[in-house]
Structure 1
Amino acid sequence: MEEVGQGYLKELISRCMVQLVDKDEFATVTAVVVHDRLHAFAQEEAQEACFVESHDSTDVLAPATVRRLAVQNTTDRHVHLGNALPKLRTIVCDFASGGAAKPSVCIHSTDLGFLHASKFLRVIDIHGLELKKLPDELGSMIHIRYLGLQCGQLERLPSTISKLGERLEFGDGAFRSLQKLRLGLPDLEEWAVSAGSMAALARLTLLRCAKMEMLPEALGGMKELEEVVLYSMPKMVGRIKEDGGQDHHKIKHVPVIQTIW
């Protein structure tokens, strides 16, 4: 599917309908720009075909049949989604960061309460939304395969997060105030942590994350980290050994490392 999409995108570039901005080392198109007039035309055609709907408001009245919801806001860090979205598969929020946004604006987990009706969610990617906590319903969404969080004010994760899927990602600046993190994710394979995340983390506990392939590289830069505890993770114990362990350099600065079987 991705190859087909790349083919269409390259065809549009060859016809000068979109302008190429960047490619990766494999010649895959990673960024393009669209002229304002063409963007307006494409948006109108997509809406007439019931393929895309566009709303210029923080009060999003998304139809109950929507499957993918992308929310962007360059001036504030809040959004109100009042109606249930039972068919939602993907939600992507990209909000203002830095000085452009109002730092006092902050929403709480009740403002994401609509998620409890989205039983088939597979992707949640939230960037810049000033959340204090996440809904407890998050862990009951058994279809989730990707959870990306870049929310600087987020203070804790719900205990139900232990039911989530294969990949977990913490974006740059996420969990700045978090001091203790306990993850018990038996299906988790990849845990990606950006530099600058969890700067205040002092204690990390990983409980039976047997499928986790490696520790995040960013752990090596967490100067406040005082203790790492691994429960029933024999593969990871081998990776952190001082003599030849692939992940030893990531936690060699940590004063206390416990492995419990």
Structure 2
Amino acid sequence: MSETKDPKIYEQKKELGMEMLQHCKGLPLAITVLAGLLARKDTVDEWNAMHKNVYAYIRRGTDLGPDYIGEGYEGVSWLLELSYDNLPYYLKLCFLYLAQFPEDYEIPVSTLTKLWMAEGFISSASAEVMEDVSYRCLRELVGRCMVQVGKNGSSKKIKTCHLHDLMRDLCMLKAKEGNFVHIINYSIASGAKETPNGRVRRLAIYLDKMVDTYGRGKDENYGHVRSLLYFVPKFSDLDSKVTKNLVRSLLRNFTMLRVLKFEGMDVRKSKLPDEIGNLVHLRFLSVRGSVIRVVPSSIANLVCFQTLDLRTLWGTKIPNGNVFSKMEKLRHIYLPRFQSAREKRLLFATEAVNLQTVVNIYIQASSDLDDFVKLTNLRKLGVIIFDGGEKKEKGTNIIFKHLQSLSVNSWLEDLAIPWNIVLTCPNIYKLHLEGRIAELPKDLLCLTNLTKLTLIRFGNLKEDHIKVLQKLPSLRMLFAIVGIFPASLVCSEGGFPFLECLYLYYLSELKEWKVEKGAMPSLCRLQIGHCLGLEAIPDGLQHITTLKKLIIEMTRPEFCRRLGEGGEDFYKIQHVQSVIITNILPNHPR
């Protein structure tokens, strides 16, 4: 009889567990952490060892006092510290790295895993892809209840994560004890005055819009810093002079950088200085959301890049020629969406066999993607069609077998979406289309793995197009934003069988929506915004028992009144657990 099925063993574990549970003080996080630790202990001896350690950690936690982790939780600190001490070394590094992010910050997992890789925390001795190893580390931290999940993506993978307040306190304490990171916080007066205990290799700077400038203090020396992360408040109006000083400072003082996150900054009327090419150790550079006019050609010197994110705002001129051709270690490259110079193709290092992400590459025809077929590790591709995307092309034998995510944008040139590119990617699960849809081929149904579809500025969808969409076999998320649906939209019985999330925004011609019984049987979330022609929500919603959340925003008052308790449409949504109606528009002629 196995130990887990032995009644005596079960009773012994139960008794030990109940005794340990008493010291969690009813705190859900502590109970969850304890459960996560015990889930990895199989034998009674291991449970006994945990039991003994628990009391040791209780004494330590009690002795530390309320300043350690918060008043009233002194006796729980032992459990949080025990969970940290049980981490293998590489996971301790990954966990401590989270101390750099501000409180209540939703951390994008895609960025976090790339940062871990650039820092050298992640290694892959086998054939397993480093990105997968990095994501597995996050999953393990989640499984140990050290990190909490924020949002999940369309493929059910974790999209954002964060730390519980108590766990963040522990993370900050351990990071400070080990001199792992130094934080300069300009949003509080005392933050900027704090100095590290010794040579710190990671620096996180929280900027505030009131800060006049940033530069080294007289006694500060950050020449040994390897990682520099800037955090700017959302919708910040930092003066461009401030960010110019920041740029000068980081290029002059931080020459050993491996990681630089410089997002949401304004370097208007200027370019990234040529000196950026001196940061030859850079593995990760992100200027996403910044206003940068020109990227200098000296960026070609940065041959250690793993991740390069140039998704700046407005127009950005990027160097011509084979500026990326020497970046053999490149894995992820995000180009500016609005480029001042449009080359037919951008050349990448043919040795960059690990290239997985290429976003915002300008092409004229699908033949411009011939070279990309050689990139057998490519997972995500974003193309922008210009000058000739509508021209008829000869058939192609190109197949992107490994591609998981595809984005096609033809809106800038008002060209129809070229379906020959889409249909060369049979295994994608995520498809983003921005531009006019002249047709919706039935061959789209061959995309059997497609779970998320986004349509933006798509022009006029016809009834036949809707019939194709609702037959997609695996579709779980559908976003329709700024376009024209049929005036009378019909979701047929059995249509959208696995759809869980539906977003309808700025659909100007939509007036009537019918949902037949048996349509959208899996729908959980429905969001409708600025569909001013829509007279009422469909009767069929009352039959969708899975619907948990309904959000209505930017809609006419009379539409909203019908949904209120006692309104003529209330019966359609009375079973929905959460109904949010917000940003009601004033009355105006339709």
TM-score by length of 2: 0.32
The alpha-carbon deviation at position 123 of structure 1 amounts to 1.6
The equivalent residue for 1:148 is 286
Residue number in structure 2 paired with 1:33: 163
- Out of 337, 347, 358, the residue aligned to residue 216 of structure 1 is 358
Q: From 115, 124, 127, give the equivalent of 2:263.
A: 127
More strand by percentage: 1
CA distance in 2, matches of 1:71, 1:80: 10
CA drift at 1:161:
0.7
2 CA distance for matches of 1:11 and 1:237?
40
Which residue of structure 2 lines up, in the alignment, with residue 69 of structure 1? 203
* Alignment partners' CA distance in 2, 1:93 and 1:208: 29
**Contact 1:78 1:105 (C-alpha < 8 Å) held by counterparts:** no
Match of 1:113 among 244, 249, 253: 249
Structure 1 pair 60–9 and aligned structure 2 pair: CA distance change class (3 A)? farther
Partners of 1:111 and 1:81 in 2: how far apart? 10
> How far 1:115 sits from its partner (Å)?
3.3
Q: Which amino acid aligns with 1:187?
A: M
Residue in structure 2 matching 1:56, options 185, 190, 206: 185
Partner of 1:166: 305
Gap runs ≥5 in structure 2: 1-89, 91-133, 376-382, 384-392, 401-406, 414-590
In structure 2, the CA distance between the partners of 1:93 and 1:103, relative to structure 1 (3 Å rule), is closer
In the alignment, the residues of structure 1 paired with residue 332 and residue 141 of structure 2 have an alpha-carbon distance, to the nearest angstrom, of 32
Q: Quick one: which amino acid aligns to residue 204 of structure 2?
A: A
- What amino acid maps onto 1:126 in structure 2? F
SS at match of 1:86: coil
After superposition, the C-alpha distances for 1:154-212 in whole angstroms (9 at most, x for unaligned) are 1112221111133343355x052224542512125345327xx3324342373564345
1:198 is the counterpart of 2:328: no
Give the secondary-structure state (helix, strand or coil) at the position aligned to 2:261.
strand
Deviations 1:110-135 (A, max 9, x none): 74334344343212222112224323
Deviation at 1:108, TM superposition (A): 1.4
Task: Give the % identical residues.
Answer: 16
Indicate conservation of the 8 Å contact 2:180/2:202, yes or no. Answer: no
What CA distance in whole angstroms lies between the structure 2 residues aligned with 1:190 and 1:4? 19
Q: Compare the two structures and name the one with the higher helix fraction.
A: 2
Structure with bigger gyration radius? 2
Distance between the aligned counterparts of 1:123 and 1:51, measured in 2? 15
The whole-number CA distance in structure 2 between the counterparts of 1:156 and 1:125 is 18
Which amino acid letter does the alignment assign opposite residue 133 of structure 1? K
Query: What is the aligned residue count?
Result: 234
> What is the CA–CA distance in structure 1 between the aligned matches of 2:210 and 2:257, rounded to whole Å?
25
Residue number among 99, 102, 127 corresponding to 2:237 in the alignment: 102
The structural deviation recorded for 1:151 is: 4.2
Instruction: Between 205-214 and 134-143, report the one with greater CA deviation.
Output: 205-214
Q: CA deviation at 1:236?
A: 5.3
Residue identity opposite 1:206 in structure 2: L
Q: Judge conservation of contact 1:162–1:184 (CA < 8 Å) in 2.
A: yes
- Bigger RCO of structures 1 and 2 (CA < 8 A, at least 6 apart): 1
Selected match of 2:276 from 134, 138, 163: 138
Give the match's secondary structure for 1:47. helix
TM-fit CA distance, 1:67: 0.8
Give the counterpart of 2:143 among 6, 10, 32. 10
Residues 155, 177 of structure 1: 8 Å contact kept = yes
Query: Could you state the TM-score of these two structures normalised by the residue count of structure 1?
Result: 0.64
Could you tell me whether the CA contact under 8 Å between 1:21 and 1:32 is conserved in 2?
yes
Kindly tell me: are residues 29 and 177 of structure 1, through their superposed partners in 2, closer, same or farther at Cα, counting changes over 3 Å? closer
> In 1, distance between residues paired with 2:315 and 2:331?
23
- CA distance 1:135–1:65, change in 2 (3 Å): farther
Quick one: which amino acid aligns to residue 95 of structure 1?
A: V
